[in-house]
Amino acid sequence: MIRSILLALFFLSTVSTSNAQSSAWQPSVGHTQIPIWPGAAPDQQPVKGPETAKLETRDQVAGRPWTYVENVTTPTMTVYAPKGGNTGVAVVVFPGGGYQILAIDLEGTEVCDWLTQKGITCVLLKYRVTDAGAYPKSGPYPESPMALEDAQRTIRLVRAHASEWHIDSHKIGVMGFSAGGHLSVAASIYFDKKLYSPLDTADQLSCRPDFAVALYPGHLSRAAAEDDAGFGKTPYALPPPDALSQVDKNLGLNPAIEIPKDMPPTFLLQAEDDHVDTVYDSLSYYIALKKAGVPAEMHLYTEGNHGFGLRRTKLPITGWPQLVETWLGTIGMIAEQAPAITHPN
């Protein structure tokens, strides 16, 4: 099975270096990055060099280039306030990039542009990623704790600032793409895991998201876990397969995933022709959620491949934002939208 890390490596190999930016990523004017750790971040890993934002011009999405960030050692959150009415909802957004880079605009700032127009506060997390040292470097929890530590800390900080930022502390969700989709899942199931020592009063608050959206996520099936286990120089052993994995390891769940009783409602979306994180990642996770009685909604499309973000194309899958808006209404996060009425001719 092809893993999301391979997508990141492919992205890196196709970069047009003549358009590379030499400085660290900065948000648009009027927005400020807020470091999420008051000092050194825990479990830091080595990087090849300073943080750099680069423009990918050859492997374009919907006919447009996109920006990625590499060598992130200082994780930050950037808060984008809602425009117009405020629903009180906040979404922490995790860009994808194989846990090696971050597609910071395609699966980050462009997502915030959409959410804020819907009255939702968007908190963009620039979590730690590296492509140096021995695998897993940065990667999916439990192989590497860095990204999940950053996610847990950010959710707690958003909850701590809920009143100041005009957010309902019971309406804080997560949304992620590709590796960020896996991070949304990890934040949803490992919220009782104490990955770092408490630093302040924010760390006394819950890091459980109130809802989760995972778009073309990876690392969720037994087959993906077996691929992860054999990817590094020192393969590690997985526990014996469960009954479903024995029948079909594509439909069996990654054994590192245990569904908690108070799992938040979850939205999944994936294309059947995804060549990076296969449709079985979403299918295996959806099956596990339904078995556990977790409210879950999944949408599969025949075409769409991987890494399309919010950029519209002729493919129906790129209309997914409307599906998320409707779903947020059905779970009580925003005002439920009335269905469109079709009149006969």
Per-residue b or e along 208-229, where b marks 16 or more CB atoms closer than 10 Å to that residue's CB: bbbbbbbbbbbbbbbbbbbbbe
Spatial distance between the Cα atoms of 233 and 316, rounded to a whole number of angstroms:
41
Of residues 110 and 132, the one with the higher pLDDT is 110
Mean pLDDT of 182-205: 97
Percent of the chain with pLDDT over 90: 77
Mean pLDDT of 225-250: 71
How many angstroms separate the most distant Cα atoms in the chain?
A: 66
Mean pLDDT of 144-155: 97
Closest CA to 173 of 116, 111, 220, 123: 123
Tens of pLDDT, residues 317-336: 999 999 999 999 999 999 87
* pLDDT value of residue 13: 38
* pLDDT value of residue 263: 96
Mean pLDDT of 213-220: 96
* pLDDT value of residue 161: 98
Q: How confident is the model at residue 233 (pLDDT cuts 50, 70, 90)?
A: low
Q: Calculate the alpha carbon distances from 145 to 45, 161, 207, 295 in Å.
A: 10, 24, 15, 27
Of residues 35 and 228, the one with the higher pLDDT is 35
Spatial distance between the Cα atoms of 43 and 142, rounded to a whole number of angstroms:
13
Of residues 109 and 22, the one with the higher pLDDT is 109
- The chain-wide mean pLDDT, for the chain, equals 89
**Contact present, 54 and 20 (Cβ < 8 Å):** yes
* pLDDT value of residue 239: 73
Is residue 292 predicted with pLDDT exceeding 50? yes
Length of the chain: 345
* pLDDT value of residue 110: 98
Percent of the chain with pLDDT over 70: 87
Q: Calculate the alpha carbon distances from 163 to 28, 149, 210, 230, 314 in Å.
A: 24, 23, 17, 46, 41
Q: How confident is the model at residue 85 (pLDDT cuts 50, 70, 90)?
A: very high
Q: How confident is the model at residue 63 (pLDDT cuts 50, 70, 90)?
A: very high
Of residues 237 and 76, the one with the higher pLDDT is 76
* pLDDT value of residue 251: 85
Is residue 227 predicted with pLDDT exceeding 90? no
Strand order in the sheet with 64-70: 52-61, 64-70, 101-102
Structural domains of the chain, with CATH: 4-330 (3.40.50.1820)
Is residue 260 predicted with pLDDT exceeding 90? yes
